[in-house]
Amino acid sequence: MEKIKIGIYGYGNLGKGVELALKNNPDMQLVGIFTRRNPTDVYALFNDTQVFSVDDAEKMKDKIDVMILCGGSATDLPEQGPKVCKLFNTVDSFDTHAKIPEYFSKMNSVALESNTLALISCGWDPGLFSLNRSLLESVLPNGNNYVFYGRGLSQGHSDALRRVEGVKNAVQYTVPYGEAVQRVRDGENPNFASVRETMWRECFVVPEDGADKNKIEKEIKEMPNYFEPYNTVVHFISEEELKKNHNTMPHGGFVLRSGNTSENTNQIAEFSLKLDSNPEFTASVLVAYARAIYRMKNQGNTGAITVLDVPVSLLSSKNRDELLKEIL
Amino acid sequence: MEKIKIGIYGYGNLGKGVELALKNNPDMQLVGIFTRRNPTDVYALFNDTQVFSVDDAEKMKDKIDVMILCGGSATDLPEQGPKVCKLFNTVDSFDTHAKIPEYFSKMNSVALESNTLALISCGWDPGLFSLNRSLLESVLPNGNNYVFYGRGLSQGHSDALRRVEGVKNAVQYTVPYGEAVQRVRDGENPNFASVRETMWRECFVVPEDGADKNKIEKEIKEMPNYFEPYNTVVHFISEEELKKNHNTMPHGGFVLRSGNTSENTNQIAEFSLKLDSNPEFTASVLVAYARAIYRMKNQGNTGAITVLDVPVSLLSSKNRDELLKEIL
């Protein structure tokens, strides 16, 4: 069987995760990593991984079935997405929720024009969580959606901590309140007045030598949007402790739907993730969906789509008979 | 907007659940119930529900978009499925796992011949659990699937209890071992030697007057396949107690996937249901998928399909813009 030929565009944590995930999927083959850096300066995880410059991507148009875009949503993807989907079928993890309609519209028009297929906003949220939100809302139209994040490391909030004066290094964990999750699981259908009731933020901060810790803590707790709306706890630790105990990127969360099918009959459905590594899991989702994109393109589909448009059977390496016998 | 016209074929607990579920979906309309009984002997839940004989179904071929088959899997569906999908697009909950390939093949050939679309084995298992099994296995190919059922009332096991000599009435609950679920959630990736380690069976039995309770209990606990492979607890109660405390049909369960994305990096995903009413929830799933079947038929699809073949966007009453903005 011919393997599905995959390219990785951008090589940070997510790109490395894709490189790892492809090793778990023997029906796919990594053609190479495309980087904006000098390719000879990039060291891939595996010796046999080829590294190219993004400038050489166009020449390899016919050698790659699906390009997985591993850049960030803030500045990389809005520019790279439309550029790359002119040449390749793409999968990306664009996750700026408020800008998804605009990004979809741009990607859709470029992909339709270029006869390519672009899956946007894949991963776990947006991604598998979106899939469950839509599925469960459709099955239980008379109900409420709940989402909780954590316990997990938030890259954006960690970055915000590092911008505070006197902070040398820092990480932030988002932590759901167990009691709030339990109230939903118990079918109470609670109305939470604010996010403060559903999750809190735990910060581990390495101060600069001689920095004023009280001032740092106050500034963090009062930071609008990032920390002010939440209960926030700040721990001061040493650089060694940070390197030793906070060097992985765990994350996770829950999507819950609680709804009535008739008066006094409540039904609760929950999808949850507990991840040792957020980027490796996100990458694994992108790779499974790359298989589906390859197949959907072969079926003649073009334009932009989301995970909601992809039948799950197309993600699987199993054929129809195996799915009927082993999965259904 | 024109409503999707739905028929209910067979009117037991599941059929009643569909009648209720349609009230939660204003874009659908119940044309009527089709029964093998004398229609005048059937009392529907709502006054405005029309009741027809199954013999009149053929005459209403053009008045119904999707017929939801609500018969049982043991004897009803193998006969009714192929018969009804000759005339109508259908959704059914065929759940005899071992016979799904055979049933699929039969339904597929009849539906292809008749230019109809038949969704088989919909509900929660097979159904939403199958969807998650396939999705999560595709995302985490290097891992294990786990499934736990309960706490919930098992109709088949309750029937088996009622066939024991000296038993007047009885219900059986399937109960997962919390410790076993926790081991999976903790990422231990346990290998359970037998089902005895993952769940147990709790029986509430009303004995006939003067029946030998010890003999009943022994016979239950030694019943092959049904109870012998499990730890089984038998409680003897009065008919009044049974009617008062065991008159609903709760159920639920968990599908878990635990897998590694790289050495020592474990990822756990879980889909769980906690249902006050098993038939009402199953019915709600059938109704959401009926919406998708209507749309897929309009797109030109025919033959048999499963939940794995249906994009989630087609289940939703939201349009593309709403999904991009509110769900993704």
What is the tens place of the pLDDT at every residue in B173-200?
Answer: 999 999 999 999 998 999 999 889 999 9
Rounded distance, CA A295 to CA A150, Å? 34
Q: Look at residue A201 in the predicted model and tell me its pLDDT.
A: 96
Asked if B275 and B281 count as a contact pair (C-beta separation under 8 A), the reply is: yes
Q: Which of residues 79-138 of B touch A (CB under 8 A)?
A: 97, 100-101, 104, 121, 126, 128, 130-135, 137-138
Distances (CA, A) of B287 to A320, B84, B253: 24, 17, 21
Q: What is the model's pTM?
A: 0.94
Judge whether A76 and A34 are in contact, CB under 8 Å: no
Backbone phi and psi for residue A66, each to the nearest 5 degrees, phi listed first: -140, 130
Strand order in the sheet with B232-236: B152-153, B167-176, B199-207, B232-236
Q: Do B284 and A267 lie within an 8 Å CB cutoff?
A: yes
pLDDT tier for residue B116 given thresholds of 50, 70 and 90: very high
Q: What is the pLDDT of residues B287-300, one digit of tens each?
A: 999 999 999 999 99
Task: Report the residue of chain A nearest B292, measured CA to CA.
Answer: A138
Residues of chain A contacting residue B288, judged by C-beta atoms under 8 Å apart = 138-139
B291 — contact with chain A (CB < 8 Å)? yes
DSSP B27: T
Chain B nearest CA to A285, separation (Å): 5
Q: What is the DSSP letter of A325?
A: I
> Cβ separation of B140 and A284 shorter than 8 Å?
yes
Q: What is the largest CA-CA distance in chain B?
A: 67
Residue numbers in A near B139 (CB within 8 A): 128, 281, 284-285, 288, 315
Q: Which letter does DSSP use for residue A65 in this model? A: S
Where do we find the tokens 């017929």? B67
B143 C-beta neighbours (distance < 10 Å), count: 21
The DSSP element (H or E) to which A69 belongs, if any, is: strand A66-69
Q: What is the structure's pLDDT at A285? A: 98
Among candidates B48, B47, B59, B50, which has minimal Cα distance to B11?
A: B50
- The answer to whether residue B189 neighbours chain A at the CB level (below 8 Å) is no
Indicate which of B135, B264, B310, B314 best probes the interface with A, i.e. most A CBs within 10 Å of its own CB: B135
Question: Considering only residues 159 to 188 of chain A, which have any Cβ-Cβ distance to chain B shorter than 8 Å?
Answer: 185, 187
Q: Label residue A136 exposed, middle or buried (CB < 10 Å: 0-12, 13-18, 19+).
A: buried
What distance lies between CA A312 and its chain's CA centroid?
A: 18
Q: Give the contacts of B131 (CB within 8 A, at least 6 positions apart).
A: A135, A312, B307, B308
In this predicted structure, what is the pLDDT of residue A48? 95
Q: Tell me the C-alpha distance between A108 and A74, whole Å.
A: 19
The DSSP bridge pattern shows strands B152-153 and B143-149 to be: unpaired
Q: For residues A316 and B109, what is the distance between their CA atoms, to the nearest angstrom?
A: 24
Q: Which of A23, A45, A261 is the mutation pick for testing B, counting most B CBs within 10 A?
A: A261
Rounded Cα gap, residues A294 and A118, in angstroms:
10
Nearest residue in chain B measured CA to CA from A323: B134
How much is the pLDDT for B155?
84
Cβ distance B269 to A130 less than 8 Å, yes or no, reads no
In tens, the pLDDT along B311-328 reads 999 999 999 999 999 999
B325 interaction partners in chain A (CB closer than 8 Å): 100-101
Note the pLDDT of residue A156: 84
A residues 18-57 lying closer than 8 A (beta carbon) to B: 20-21, 24-25
C-beta atoms of B271 and A276 within 8 A: no
What is the per-residue pLDDT for B34? 98
A123–chain B nearest CA distance, Å: 10
Q: In the predicted model, is pLDDT for residue B102 greater than 80?
A: yes
Q: Read off the tokens for B85.
A: 């999908």
What pLDDT is attached to residue A134? 97
Q: Is residue B46 within 8 Å of residue B19, measured between CB atoms?
A: yes
| Helices marked H in chain B | 13-22, 76-84, 100-114, 128-139, 155-162, 178-185, 213-221, 239-245, 278-298, 320-322
Determine the Cα–Cα distance for residues B55 and B173; give it in Å rounded to an integer. 38
Residues forming beta bridges with residue A58, ordered by sequence position: none
Q: Residues B33-44: pLDDT tens digits?
A: 999 999 999 999
What is the pLDDT at residue B221? 97
Distance (Å) from the alpha carbon of B281 to chain A's nearest alpha carbon:
7
Chain A residues within 8 A of B261 when measuring between CB atoms: 17, 20-21, 24, 277, 280-281, 283-284
A 10 A CB-CB count for B156 gives: 9
**Rounded to whole angstroms, how far apart are CA atoms B314 and B293?**
8
CA B55 to chain centre: 26
The mean pLDDT of B232-245, rounded to a whole number, is: 96
Name, in order, each residue with C-beta under 8 angstroms of B187's C-beta and a sequence gap of 6 or more: A274, A276, B258, B266, B268
Nearest CA-CA distance, residue B69 and chain A, Å: 17
Nearest to A125 by CA among A278, A289, A315: A278
Average pLDDT over residues B61-90: 96
Q: Which residues of A touch B274 (CB under 8 A)?
A: 185, 187, 267-270
Separation of alpha carbons A102 and A125, rounded Å:
18
pLDDT band with cut points at 50, 70 and 90 for residue B1: confident
Going residue by residue through chain A, which has 328 residues, state the pLDDT in tens, using 9 for 90 and above: 799 999 999 999 999 999 999 999 999 999 999 999 999 999 999 999 999 999 999 999 999 999 999 999 889 999 999 999 999 999 999 998 899 999 999 999 999 999 999 999 999 999 999 999 999 999 999 999 999 999 999 888 998 999 999 999 999 999 999 999 999 999 899 999 988 999 999 999 999 999 999 999 999 999 998 999 999 999 999 999 999 999 999 999 999 999 999 999 999 999 999 999 999 999 999 999 999 999 999 999 999 999 999 999 999 999 999 999 999 9
Taking the CA of residue A56 and the nearest CA in chain B, the distance in Å comes to 30
Contact criterion met (CB below 8 Å) for A327 and B130 = yes
Query: Cβ–Cβ of B309/A311 closer than 8 Å?
Result: yes
Interatomic CA distance for residues A213 and B35, integer angstroms: 75
Quote ipTM for the complex: 0.94
Task: Quote the tokens at residue B142.
Answer: 């290097």
The string of pLDDT tens digits covering residues B123-160 is 999 999 999 999 999 999 999 999 999 999 988 899 89
Report which of A62, A156, A162, A155 is spatially closest to residue A116, judged by C-alpha positions: A62
Residue B263 to chain A, least CA–CA distance (Å): 10
Report the gap between the CA of B266 and the closest CA in chain A (Å). 6
Which chain B residues in 205-264 lie under 8 Å from chain A, judged by CB atoms?
261-262, 264
